[in-house]
Structure 1
Amino acid sequence: MTLCAARRRRFNPRFIHCYHYMTSHRNIDTIRAEFPLLATNPELAYLDNAAGTQKPEAVLKAMDAFYRTSYANVHRSVYDLSERATAQYEDARGRVAHFLNAQPQEIIFTKNATEAINLVAYSFGEENVHEGDEVLVSILEHHANFLPWQRLCAQKKARLVVAPVRADGTLDEEQMLALISARTKIVALTALSNVTGTRTPLARIIERVHQQGARVIIDGAQAVAHEHVDIRAMGADFFVFSGHKVFGPTGIGVLAARAELLETMQPFIVGGEMVKTVSLDNTEWNDIPWKFEAGTPPIAEAIGLKTAIDFIESIGWPHLHAHEQTLVEYALERVRALKGVHLIGPETYSSDRAPIISFTVDGVHPHDLASILNERHVAIRSGHFCAQPFLNALSYTAAARASFTIYNTHAEVDALIEGIAAAQKIFRV
């Protein structure tokens, strides 16, 4: 076998498994024990999960085992170690594909969701957005799903159209639908707000976008940690997320896209292993997905992400949803009871809300609040959450945010509330 033939032998069926996982009903103490950082710091209330979740032991062990027993570069050699590394890397791709209901060739590994969105803006947007066209986003967007489109529109002399929110911080679906026109070429939307935790009503919007012949990119960075995502049922043309928000490592992101779109797109980054042939006069790009993965990819990180997906599905979505629902309902109830504390977004729980709450405290700057909470071993986020246009639209410049997941407890919500009350006492408000 030639080396080039070995490189093309990447979707060997013996390396792509069918995934069927038994769910469990492990109690929260058992689940917390699976996270080394939490197990060794029992006093810590880690409530910054929207920025990044902690890593279970299984993820750490999988990455460590790869480096200790299986490390080699992938797609480049025919020796056994490289073949094993390649198999593990491509098996991770297959696992992510199954997780999203995609095909392996539709999964591109990036360094994070931000890079994945920039890839689409460059590789698809550059060819399909022209002077006078429109790109539609919502005011809810994280900067990662706003700035690439702002820059693209400036470069192409296109118009960036921004859909507003209602007074309660939820997307105005009717206004969003009204803004979709024949000039619309791309619609970029978050599936779930990283500020309010509210879910975006995607179905009618995506249907209208496709009726106009435009394409949809969904930022799923927050959604994948809280709900089962089926990109086929969703109808997304492009879908992105980051590993570090779903119990996986940093340095790994995913772009899932329709194969027929990827086939037409040019690479975002060029270099080693994303080509078939190179000559002085001509270069032939590799097949999808590899033409978008120049250089050495995040091999260990992909393996860690696969294991993280195994972990979250072993818990089971119904179990995770039930636990998160009780947490966010309890947190909202306790925050509402505090005088001088103002929630951003809907103040009551609904099934369209994930366990993310943002708020302000009269007379206490969010950074001061976060510092006081830190002294009490409560970790929250403070600032603008990379969503300045959204906060500004609601007349805020900064806020505090607590975000929960499967390993958080009601006692940690109590610690948060006690810390807020302590900050109010310190500032005499």
Structure 2
Amino acid sequence: MSQSSQFERVIDGLFAVLLALKKQPVIRFDESSPLCRNIAERLSVRIDQERNLFNFQGSSQAPLLLLLDRKEDPVTPLLNQWTYEAMTHELLTLKNNRVVLTESTGVGTGDVREVVLDQRIDDFYRRNMFLNFGELGDNVKHLVDSFQVQHRSTDRLDTIDDMMKFVENYPEFKKTSHNVSKHVTLLSELSKVVDRNRLLDVSELEQDIACRESAVEHKAQVLNFLKSYKVTKEDKLKLVLLYSLRYERAGDMHLGALIQGLYEAGLGSDKVSLVNALTQQAGASARRGDVFNNQSFLAKARSSVKRGFGGVTNVYTQHEPLLAAILDDTIRGRLRLEDYPVVHGTPPQTCREVVVFIAGGATYEESKCVAEINGYIPATAQENSFTASARAASKMNGTRIILGGSTIHNSASYLQEIAKKQTMMSTS
């Protein structure tokens, strides 16, 4: 699909969402993003051209459409994830609510090849999609125990009535059996990947780089991981990418040793070149602000309260996406007009409905953040975090957030996008 076709598809999609809400929006965009400006201006023209479609009777306060650019937060898509939905997408890839399991993931012949994960039809997934890996393990165990109890009740078929009852309940029994098998299979596959690739260790360092400044210590740790045969090439590259973003403005980062380490680990120049590509596209000079500023206080919140089996602690989920801080300012009416100008409508003091669209793609970590702010899931963020602050303001103002993006990224798709853009830039 051409760039112009993708652009028009974004406009069509946003226009359809606004019509579905039956409200004409106030449109604001990230001033530092030419892409967001183009989307805002084109959508504003489209709304003016089709103004008759927005003559809704009794329409209440206009929603805010906030257009953001992925380049402002290149950190979030690079991190390993530890909640069910995000972790599945990162390690196994979740596309159109489906996960395809191949023999390369360790599934044997005759086992489940494709599973559906859709909260609209799967109550267990809906209840657990935002829970961390440890809690998920506990809940899958409870699911299996419950199924075993139910299964034992169907073993006795001594009378015709017993058999009739079994036949009547068989479709539900089969559905439950499939659901249990699905979640056990996924948990098993996720566990294998975590153990095989040292993801607990890798993720702890990722989070530490994202949330705390310590250049010398982090460099030594990254170099150590580059020498580990158990750490994948992809995770080695992501560690160097995070380091290069964090310490881009810290003077001499001694990136040469890390780049050499990538080559020695077997990565080709096409992958190693992504270090410079990411800095060019989403480095400090390409962003309006410093994506790490809103994370620094989180380094103080490194408690080790274990949750469920597996020993996953909140050290693996201390990072907060930049979106949380932006939404906190938005809900509280503190979003600066100089940074987020208006192209359509007049911004109210407080917003009851905010539609956020991230050009360049959103992530499931950001989706969880929005779900928590909306109060759809129990609060898990640190008390002094932007997510907790935005949740409190949202509850007070009655604000609802809707999140969208041009795609839903995991780290692989994000780096593919960076490589694609770099190729286009070099040939233009």
Query: Whose helix proportion is higher, 1 or 2?
Result: 2
TM-score by length of 2: 0.27
TM-score by length of 1: 0.27
Structure possessing the higher radius of gyration over alpha carbons: 2
Query: Whose strand proportion is higher, 1 or 2?
Result: 1
